[in-house]
Structure 1
């Protein structure tokens, strides 16, 4: 569904003083869209077809790129009020010797099935409440979440993750939803978030998740290579804040508790959405929790500067220190707030683009209980990735989306030398916007520190009203794409993905 066919929205509910707690909105007549508005278009069809390839695909790039993100924003004349609130949709690109096939399918969550049957929204979501005020939104029930943030491949199984819920298992070839999975653990033992970490050496799979209640509980869970539980631990968080990602090294887990405090009582009373109850308190500063993997010692608490961290890059140990790289902002106003660009795009408006997403580094000395923060690059970055072969250990390169305009979205990609500081950049043409870059290693050089492989980037071309998958040489991105896989339609913004090399 193209934005020119959608309708502009009128806001029905009141705004929180900072974060803007809005409900669903009804539709009224629309003006012609600005280019990046197509990032918030619904994709209401499920397709499976051979895509057109422009250029020459690398002969040894064979496998599947899976991506996850929101796919559906409207039901029965009502539209979600934040780009995070769409129902989860998996899209994949299967790259073979005879061409590339595109496929997409919605995750059949409990929410998606119930609302599809009813033909209307039944549940509030992360940033959008139901019409009807507190009486209808009190004690919100997400019914297992939307499974719309990340997709992960593990032991030949495919999983879709949301925040603070159990993942959904998918059939890798058909993308059919097998259902909620507990990953082999007893019901109620743990919860998960959308950013598990995998140790490429030991094969361990490490998760964290947040559980909202009278106190904020942080669950840490680790599985071994075969999927058996290594250990599980619950921490009582020293502050009630929103946490999206975390760091893992060979011996440590590091949680960054930025001062994004949550007034959960107002959310549970139906007075605001979960996003709307976030309050940024700069004066409180940041707090790092350093936890020994598998240990029972009390976490080490280290005060640090106040920055909003949505996504980490990687972390590793260097001597007696922990180096933790991330994208961090002086405040979260691009994403939360009544005028935030990620909210405004849902209403055909240009919103506020706040503090840039700088590439920053925490250097943590656990034994001395101190940390310092360094800024590696001040540009407007997001969605960092690395070659997964270097996870939890020192990596040479990081890959980022970069915004060079005032839209709050990304129109360039960057390859950053995290050790030497040199950066390479490719900027797309006007009206083109990109998502998270995914590294695909050459089959015989997966662990090369020089990252000899390819970068796979989903791109919206708003002029053509089509998406493509752009393929770059990872070590020469400034040369531009060596191939493009063209779709016949646009896709909404996707968040996170993974590459699965063909055997």
Structure 2
């Protein structure tokens, strides 16, 4: 096992923070010092400047919340972007804000608390940025000892073994109290794994021999850490494999027999890091390269196969399954690497302009391990944040659910269901001025068939300047929401969530 010190000294964020000052001309990853703009749909990206927690009870409900929908929608995302007159350049850099929408017999409440990471507490006391960030070129003003020193815990959230965790890309999961949302501290799954990266996209199986098992990974310095965690929240197995040439791996997939990674041809320009660029600013797309498909056998956590496919950047995978005969089927969302790496994406965090979304479309992948062949079906819908019924994770699924962009303005303003078996779609368009976030399928109690559930997710109405949460019948999306719950304020836009059902 590599020492935790190597996680820091290997480069990336820490190297950027220890580098000398950058170029004289402003770069897309330089901190922003101008005023925040007035574009209505971008106001939640202002963030909560004061860094305070919030609670709202007895929320207003339009329609009727289904009687069987009980539990908590946990959401995580960047919530604080500005300190000491400087703003982060990149959306991914803000400090993690955990939200809890609680659905109970007495109504709906909303609670939000910042994750009190070491970074958050240091910078909160100082009133300024002290540490480097993923997409903003900042010099470290405090010693960097490990990757958790820059952990923002801002990307996703999971509940396993009764414990709640805020997740990031490059460091430990942070444990929080599921009721109060108070931060308890970083989680070490085993002494030798303390401080190891634990990604923001764990996969939980609810069927088969691994029912209740949660799988996850972390990448660092050309290595891949794998985790298998039981339903009780205890680590069952772990492994560290060689995986060179993978500076950014955001998501992965599991099937009944395999773990699958799709690695785009990205490289890290260490000279750019030394010159003061951020981690994103130092990423370079390898023209003429290919995506690597890495397939790992669950039985012994060894690499079973490595194949190639056309080069595409991707962040999110919906689901994967295998037929037991060496064929894997997987869906993901392709994104435009040029838009992401150019810095144009950063304009939205200034609130000055509403850029068009980078092209992001569904891809349906078939991996034949026997014939060593990869086939891709491309679709044209403009989507992101794919979700499936949690009961079919790692098993054959028919439906994938997405927020969808329908108008020319920035953001996803519709909800889309894609039927993989028939190639058909069903959607609901919220209309102009509305931005829809990730939508989770919550199974209806007592049901077993895929899709029998509610889609629960959040959004922002720029005309009202308020955040809302909607509940749809997943089998009748076009009929519109069964209920809409309104906050009396807007909340910062987030990334990913988890719905914890209660009886």
2:216 alignment partner, one of 207, 232, 235: 207
Alignment TM-score, normalising by the size of structure 2: 0.89
Q: Which runs of 5+ in 2 are unaligned?
A: 1-20
**2:307 maps to 1:307:** no
Q: Cα offset for 1:21?
A: 5.1
Q: Does the 8 Å CA contact 1:138/1:271 hold for their aligned counterparts?
A: no
How many residues are matched? Answer: 476
Give, in angstroms, the shift of residue 354 of structure 1. Answer: 6.1
Structure 2 matches for 1:350-361, cutoff 5 A? 350=353, 352-353=355-356, 355-361=358-364
> Is 1:332 aligned to residue 337 of structure 2?
yes
What aligned pairs does 1:351-430 form with structure 2 within 5 A after superposition?
A: 352-353=355-356, 355-375=358-378, 377-430=379-432
Write the deviation string for residues 341-362 of structure 1: whole angstroms up to 9, x where unpaired.
xx11112233654652111111
Q: Which runs of 5+ in 1 are unaligned?
A: 1-11
> Alpha-carbon deviation of 1:183?
2.6
1:45 aligns with 2:52: yes
Computed over aligned residues only, the root mean square deviation of the Cα atoms, in angstroms, reads 2.4
The match for 1:474 is 474
Counterpart for residue 29 of structure 2: 22
1:138 Cα offset (Å):
9.9
Deviation at 1:139, TM superposition (A): 9.5
Cα deviation digits, residues 434-468 of structure 1 (max 9, x gap): 100111111111x312x121111211011111111
Q: Which residue of 2 is the match for residue 5 of structure 1?
A: none
Partner residue of 2:7? none
Give the drift of 1:256. Answer: 0.5
What secondary structure sits across from 2:92 in the alignment? helix
**Contact conserved, 1:409 with 1:433, CA < 8 A, in 2?**
yes
| Structure 1 position 225, deviation (Å) | 2.8
- Quick check: 1:113 aligned with 2:121? yes
Are 2:235 and 1:226 equivalent residues in the alignment? no
Instruction: Map 1:33-432 to 2 at 5 A.
Output: 33-43=38-48, 44-50=51-57, 51-130=59-138, 143-188=149-194, 190-201=196-207, 202=210, 203-211=212-220, 213=221, 216-264=222-270, 266-267=272-273, 269=274, 271-295=276-300, 297-318=302-323, 319-329=325-335, 331-340=336-345, 343-350=346-353, 352-353=355-356, 355-375=358-378, 377-432=379-434
Which digits, 9 at most, give the CA deviation of each residue in 1:474-501, with x for residues without a partner? 1111111121111011112110001111
SS at match of 2:314: strand
1:407 CA drift (Å) = 3.9
TM-score (norm 1): 0.89
Distance 1:208 1:138, change over 3 A: closer
The whole-number CA distance in structure 2 between the counterparts of 1:400 and 1:456 is 12
CA deviation after TM superposition for structure 1 residue 136, in Å: 9.3
